[in-house]
Amino acid sequence: MPEQPIIRIEDLHFTYPGDSAETLRGLSLEIAEGSFVAVLGHNGSGKSTLAKLLNAILLPTSGKVYVCGRDTEDEEHLLDIRRSVGLVFQNPDNQIVANVVEDDVAFAPENLGVEPQEIRSRVDEALRTVGMYEYRLHAPHLLSGGQKQRVAIAGALAMQPRVLVLDEPTAMLDPLGRREVISTVERLCRERGMTVVLITHHMSECVNADRLIALSDGMVTADGTPREVFSQVELLKREGLTVPATVRLLYALREAGFDVPLDALSVDECADAVAALLLARGRV
Amino acid sequence: MESIIRTEKLTHVYSRGTPFEKTAIHDVNVEIYRGELVAVIGHTGSGKSTFMQHLNGLLRPDEGGVYVEGEDIFATKEATRDVRFKVGLVFQYPEYQLFEETVYKDIAFGPRNMRLSEAEIDERVRESARLTGVGEELFERSPLELSGGQKRRVAIAGVMAMRPRVLILDEPTAGLDPAGCAGVLKNITDYREATGSTVLLVTHSMDDAARIADRLIVFHEGTIAMDGMPEEVFSRQRELVDMGLDVPQSAAIADALRARGVQLPSSIYTSRRLREAVVALAKGVAPC
Ligand SMILES: Nc1ncnc2c1ncn2[C@@H]1O[C@H](COP(=O)(O)OP(=O)(O)O)[C@@H](O)[C@H]1O
Ligand SMILES: Nc1ncnc2c1ncn2[C@@H]1O[C@H](COP(=O)(O)OP(=O)(O)O)[C@@H](O)[C@H]1O
Ligand SMILES: [Mg+2]
Ligand SMILES: [Mg+2]
């Protein structure tokens, strides 16, 4: 028997109070435990709204969201759901509440009344996991953007969630900061079995995901492995999403009548495919 | 080429004499030429914003100077004030600084400060709104009601309305989605085309820099580590990565192809050039 999905969404509709139009228009999805799912979509497509529905900050207008089998509308389970789904947002500065890194990470478990000793070990563990243990006594506002986001992730981890939802966590970071955050998240998924839902505009951050979901105007327009989704070049362009340079090159060669795979996503795979073509044609 | 901005041994120290003393930029010598579009890149904290804020007199150097069209902008109070109209600065996340009741008033704020006539102000507001794709139907709306991308454009329009000879933008595309980024970049290149202005912009996106810049300046730990045409800078992938930066994906693909024996010209760093060159090679036409 297949394992039950950690998140199950059934015909989810959502309209903000007082809004005339629906923001989410009939979403059905299942997310497998331990998977790394990237969510893409133009601004206003409903990504952040979906993130908030996953930990019951918002509740469905109709349809259902189940987290670990529990209905998010079931008030009895609210605390459990909030604990199971950790949320990290775009702006690292808005997420910091304390003047010392370790206090910041301890904030949520303290609020939930977790035992002091237990908090201590969770905070240390969380900071080690994101590679920020050495900074535990530093002032958060003096850290780089990538470091701040890793502290925010540690804060979410201290709640020991089973799902980590990150809403454009790298949008304000420089390339190094982006690499730090993405490699942290990938490690959490691959080594700790954490389920990760990563909302992002950066295609390079999705390449290693197990699954990529594209939203448009509150509906799913593409859902598959990165290879499957990125090779739908026309669809991505239509949705205003950027296509990785690897796929654009392969696509241009296909359009010119050459037989190359469209799913050689990484730089090396793409270079191998193109070099093989040129070699076969005696151009190298 | 005619120089429009020159810095000499520009140095800035924050919180001098306190335990938090920090030399943000050090001994920066640079010459910007009229009509150039320069992208400034560098990791967070490398000194980009500090540098940019000197160019319109907002920050005073601790050592060294800034010359705009040959004039020392810190020589007199008047010179420091006048430079604000010659060199327009769009801050990072400028949408947080929209404060007027309406979009129109916000865009008109700068020209009004310049004491222009109402007719001139009106013309400028309409022109810069057009250049930034801010529809006139938004003029009487409150800036607070707009989407993030629209707010950003209104803020940029407000600076453009002063028609500065040099337009400086600090991370103008940060936090926008790909469509929003493309829109803002197009606004910037349209403004430059329409006015012949010089443009400097800070960006973390190597792809944006590759797409629109004539020249790249790379900051590292408060000094200029590289300065050159995009093809020169992006050919130093290893050094850029060591500085916490990146190259555009197309430059990395071109590099990987060269490593596999494919003969490609060194000037490839945008997706379009890469596609053209590779398709030409595959077809048996020599790439140019
Ligand atoms: N608090 C809110 N009240 C009313 N409408 C909202 C609110 N938040 C978002 N919206 C609207 O819902 C739609 C989806 O927004 P959002 O989920 O933030 O999209 P995304 O994260 O994909 O950019 C947009 O049209 C937005 O204007
Ligand atoms: N107002 C300030 N007071 C003290 N230090 C500052 C201030 N602004 C910036 N700095 C420091 O100066 C250095 C350069 O900062 P900045 O010019 O903002 O870099 P960038 O724009 O490249 O991120 C950083 O180390 C930063 O922490
Ligand atoms: Mg969002
Ligand atoms: Mg800056």
Q: What percent of chain A lies above the pLDDT cut of 70?
A: 99
Nearest alpha carbon to residue A198 among A162, A154, A163, A229: A163
Q: Separation of A41 CA from ligand 3 center, angstroms? A: 9
What is the DSSP code string of A159-200?
T--SEEEEESTTTT--HHHHHHHHHHHHHHHHHH--EEEEE-
Nearest alpha carbon to residue B101 among B146, B138, B137, B143: B143
Instruction: Name the token pair of A14.
Output: 């959502």
Q: Which residues of B touch A253 (CB under 8 A)?
A: 278-279, 282
CB within 8 Å: B43 and A44: no
Instruction: Using a CB–CB cutoff of 8 Å, tell me whether B261 touches chain A.
Output: yes
What is the DSSP code string of B71-122?
EETTSSHHHHHHHHHHEEEE-SSGGGG--SSSHHHHHHHHHHHTT--HHHHH
What pLDDT, in 10s, does the model give residues A176-218?
888 989 999 999 999 999 999 999 988 888 989 999 999 999 9
What is the DSSP code string of B125-175?
HHHHHHHTT--GGGTTS-GGGS-HHHHHHHHHHHHHTT--SEEEEESTTTT
Query: ipTM beyond 0.85?
Result: no
Q: Separation of B15 CA from ligand 4 center, angstroms? A: 17
Same domain, B135 and B269: no
What pLDDT, in 10s, does the model give residues A20-30?
899 999 999 99
Tell whether B97 is covered by a domain.
Answer: no
Q: Residue B286, exposed/middle/buried by CB under 10 A (0-12, 13-18, 19+)?
A: exposed
**Residue ranges of B 12-71 with Cβ closer than 8 A to chain A:** 42-45
Same domain, B3 and B80: yes
Point out the residue among A176, A245, A283 whose CB comes nearest to the CB of B43: A176
Tell whether B80 is covered by a domain.
Answer: yes
What one-character DSSP code corresponds to residue A244? P
Lowest-pLDDT choice from A187-196, A273-282, B277-286: B277-286
Ligand nearest to the CA of A41: 1
pLDDT band at A1 (very low <50, low <70, confident <90, very high): very low
Mutate to test the interface with A, among B204, B270, B273 (most CBs of A within 10 A): B204
CB within 8 Å: A248 and B275: yes
Same domain, B75 and B209: yes
Query: pLDDT value at position B286?
Result: 57
Which CATH number do you get for residue B220?
A: 3.40.50.300
What pLDDT, in 10s, does the model give residues A244-277?
899 999 999 999 999 999 889 899 999 999 999 9
Q: Which domain holds residue B7?
A: 1-90+164-241
Considering B113, B141, B157, which residue would you say is the last residue of a domain? Answer: B157
Same domain, B271 and B236: no
Same domain, B173 and B75: yes
Q: Which residues of A touch B176 (CB under 8 A)?
A: 43
Q: How far is A248 from chain B (nearest CA, A)?
A: 7
Q: How far is B23 from chain A (nearest CA, A)?
A: 15
Same domain, B153 and B173: no
The phi and psi torsions of B201 (rounded to 5 degrees) equal: -140, 145
Same domain, B230 and B273: no
Q: Which CATH number fits domain A7-243: 3.40.220.10, 3.30.230.10, 3.40.50.300, 3.30.70.3270?
A: 3.40.50.300
Considering B136, B157, B178, which residue would you say is the last residue of a domain? Answer: B157
pTM as predicted: 0.87
Query: What mean pLDDT do residues B148-152 have?
Result: 87
Mutate to test the interface with A, among B92, B171, B177 (most CBs of A within 10 A): B177
Same domain, B48 and B33: yes
Tell whether B254 is covered by a domain.
Answer: yes
pLDDT band at A221 (very low <50, low <70, confident <90, very high): very high
Cα–Cα distance measured from residue A22 to residue B103, given in angstroms and rounded to the nearest whole number: 27
Same domain, B35 and B75: yes
Instruction: Using a CB–CB cutoff of 8 Å, tell me whether B179 touches chain A.
Output: yes
Task: Look at chain B and report how many structural domains it folds into.
Answer: 3
Q: Separation of B48 CA from ligand 4 center, angstroms? A: 6
Same domain, B210 and B189: yes
Same domain, B34 and B134: no
Instruction: Using a CB–CB cutoff of 8 Å, tell me whether B282 touches chain A.
Output: yes
Query: pLDDT value at position A91?
Result: 81
**Which amino acid residue places its CA nearest to atom 3 of ligand 2?**
B14
Cβ atoms B200, B169 nearer than 8 A: yes
Instruction: Name the token pair of B161.
Output: 């309305």
Q: What's the mean per-residue pLDDT of chain A?
A: 92
Tell whether B205 is covered by a domain.
Answer: yes
Instruction: Name the token pair of B68.
Output: 């705009």
pLDDT band at B154 (very low <50, low <70, confident <90, very high): very high
What pLDDT, in 10s, does the model give residues B182-228?
899 999 999 999 999 999 999 999 999 999 999 999 999 999 999 99
Nearest alpha carbon to residue B31 among B156, B162, B166, B164: B166
Cβ atoms B35, B198 nearer than 8 A: yes
Q: Separation of A102 CA from ligand 4 center, angstroms? A: 26
Q: Residue B56, exposed/middle/buried by CB under 10 A (0-12, 13-18, 19+)?
A: buried
The domain spans of chain A are 7-243, 244-284
